[in-house]
A and B are shown apart, each in its own frame.
Chain A
Amino acid sequence: MASALSLNRLTKRFGSLTAVDSFSLEVERGTIFALLGPNGAGKTTIIRILTTLLRPDAGTAQVEGFDVQQQGKEVRRLIGVVPQENNLDRYLTARENLVMQARLHGMGAAETSRRVDELLELVGLSGRRNDFPDTFSGGMQRRLVVARALVHRPRVLFLDEPTTGLDPQSRRAVWEYVESLKDSMTIFLTTHYMDEADALCDRIVIMDHGRLLVDGSAARLKERMAHAHCYEMQFRANADRYEAILAGLPFVRSLQRTGDLFRLSLAGEEFLKPLMDAVGTDDIRKVCPREPTLEDVFIELTGREVRE
């Protein structure tokens, strides 16, 4: 199958920081592709290069066969972009925002009118077409940004953290639109939400420090963790004390906490007994094995420390 995106040894530096480090990737047409990584991993830099907003220092990148540096205008004709932050024009109504996008893509008046009305209907904003984006909720603004990116029927849609800051209902709504687009275009998304990547994407790449770490489907990535020994532990009391103990154990490879519930993976089955010796049995409410998640893979590969 032909590639929609082709990155070859792409490199971008900001001063002494190498944001993208000799990054190579092929994304097939018609797939939903997710690029995951912690803050500062280089995801947004890659999107900015692919959407012609940034020039790479080395390497090449092509979108639908067009070089992003030499054929920027052709690339921009084919792409739709949903940036991290809503960059709607607050002095234009919802409808005018979409009409402006159509004009910038050189669409004719009749086609613009038809397409804009169709998209407003699709994202459930036709009743608010003449309202200004400032009067919309975060979810509605996000849906309008997605609609704007689709006005000119792009062949590749870039979504940079499309659901960050949205409530669960709005997230689901955005997921539904994205899924409905799957057959008509290639979708390239970055996200911090593992469940989002798991639910939506055919293929996932996890990157960190500008480099590709793993590449595969969600199922294949989770298989990598099959050898990992994942457990859930719940404590009746003193959860903070137990968190400190668990974090200090050298054989605990990943640790996530939700209230008094801990999800952890061990370096090997033989460490279960030392684990129990370390925490004792006084406060334990529950210990049970569990299936690895994409988040386990992510934490395993990118580490536990919080990034700026």
Chain B
Amino acid sequence: MFKGAFSIWKRDMLVLRRSLFSELVAVVASPLTFYLAFGFGLKGYIANVEGVPYTVFMAPGLITMTAVSAAFDESAWSMWFHRKVQRTIEAYRVTPITVYDIVIGKIISGFTQGALKGVAVATVIFLLTGVRFDPAHLAGYLAFIALGSMVFSCAGTVCGTLMDKPETIGKVQAVVIMPLIFLSGVFFPVSSYPEAMRAAVMAIPTTALFEGSRRALLAGSFDGGLIAILAVTALIAFTVTVAIFNRKMAE
């Protein structure tokens, strides 16, 4: 069962291993720039946020943002490249593995890349900036990261499955993914929204992800409601992604 998915995941990890250093350098550059620019550049203008210094407040969000963006990028571009450019998806489809193996393998590859890159950014931020967290809080934080990476990996897989033009994937990143990430509390707390909007904003899965992961890491509080929103979203996203891929392959 799912031996095919494991083979595809193994292939993706082999390819990642070959370019691991350059991948990690590239992925660390962007959040670190944000961290330095906002965290230190604006330090003098921003007081403590929710009781902690702004540099500490934004660190969990940046790590989460890196993980989920990497999961989306890897899944979307990998699926598009293997389907439209290299046509390896077709090569897989004439072997005894099923379309479920292919899509699950690709989702897990995206998820793994997201998790690895998140860890890389976390390590750099912890080493360079002196931000420290209680190790006991990590398990709860990682639960949010894992589910968030799964959701974004599924979203990327859907884009790579349905979109034939690369520029369309770029537009989805610019118009949907980035606003969803930025407006969900990477750089500011949800309490900044007007009170009437807060309940609705908190129900958005990305807010559940960023707010929940921050609370888990900084305060060690594991919000069951937020993790439930994320878990249900991940389950729905996974089911929908598998169905969309299956349907697309049958066309």
User: A interface vs B, CB < 8 Å?
Assistant: 51-53, 55, 73, 76-77, 79, 81, 83, 85, 87-92, 96, 100-101, 103-106, 148
B99 to chain A, nearest CB (A): 10
Q: Mark B54-86, 1 if CB is under 8 A from A, else 0.
A: 000000000000000000000000000000001
When distances are taken between beta carbons in the complex, the residues of chain B under 8 Å from A90 are 86
Q: Which single member of A73, A89, A91 contacts B96 (CB below 8 Å)?
A: A73
Cross-chain contact A100 with B87 (CB below 8 angstroms): no
Give the residues from 1 to 21 in chain B that come closer than 8 angstroms, CB to CB, to chain A.
3-4, 7, 10-11, 14-15, 18
In the assembly, what is the distance between CA of A101 and CA of B91, in Å? 9
Contact of B94 among A55, A81, A103 (CB under 8 A): A81
Number of A-B residue pairs having CB atoms within 8 Å of each other in the complex: 57
14 A–B contacts, CB within 8 A, in A order: A51-B94, A52-B94, A53-B93, A83-B87, A87-B90, A91-B15, A92-B11, A92-B15, A100-B7, A100-B11, A101-B95, A103-B3, A104-B92, A106-B3
For A85, the chain B residues whose CB sits under 8 A away are 87
Which residue from chain A places its CB closest to the CB of B98 in the assembled complex? A73
Q: Which A residues are in CB contact (< 8 Å) with B18?
A: 91
- A105 adjacent to B11 (CB under 8 Å): no
In the complex, B97 has a CB within 8 A of chain A: yes
Tell yes or no: B250 within 8 A of A by CB.
Answer: yes
Given contacts A87-B86, A92-B15, A103-B7, 8 further A-B contacts (CB under 8 A): A55-B250, A73-B98, A81-B94, A87-B87, A87-B90, A88-B88, A104-B4, A106-B96
C-alpha gap A76/B98 in the complex (Å): 10
Least CB distance, A83 to chain B, in whole angstroms: 7
Contact between chains at A89 and B94 (CB < 8 Å): no
Q: How far is the CB of A12 from chain B (nearest CB, A)?
A: 12
**CB closest chain-A residue, reference B89:** A87
| CB closest chain-A residue, reference B82 | A89
Most-contacted residue by chain B among A88, A91, A104 (CB, 10 A): A104
| Known contacts A100-B11, A104-B4; A89/B88 CB under 8 A | yes
- Distance in Å: Cβ of B246 to nearest Cβ of chain A: 12
Closest 8 pairs between A and B when the two form their complex, measured CB to CB: A87-B87, A104-B95, A103-B7, A81-B94, A91-B15, A87-B91, A76-B96, A77-B96
List residues of chain A with CB within 8 A of the CB of B7: 100, 103-104
Cross-chain contact B90 with A83 (CB below 8 angstroms):
yes
CB neighbors of A among B156-171 (8 A): none
CA distance A103 to B90 in the complex (A): 16
B235 shortest CB reach to chain A, Å? 27
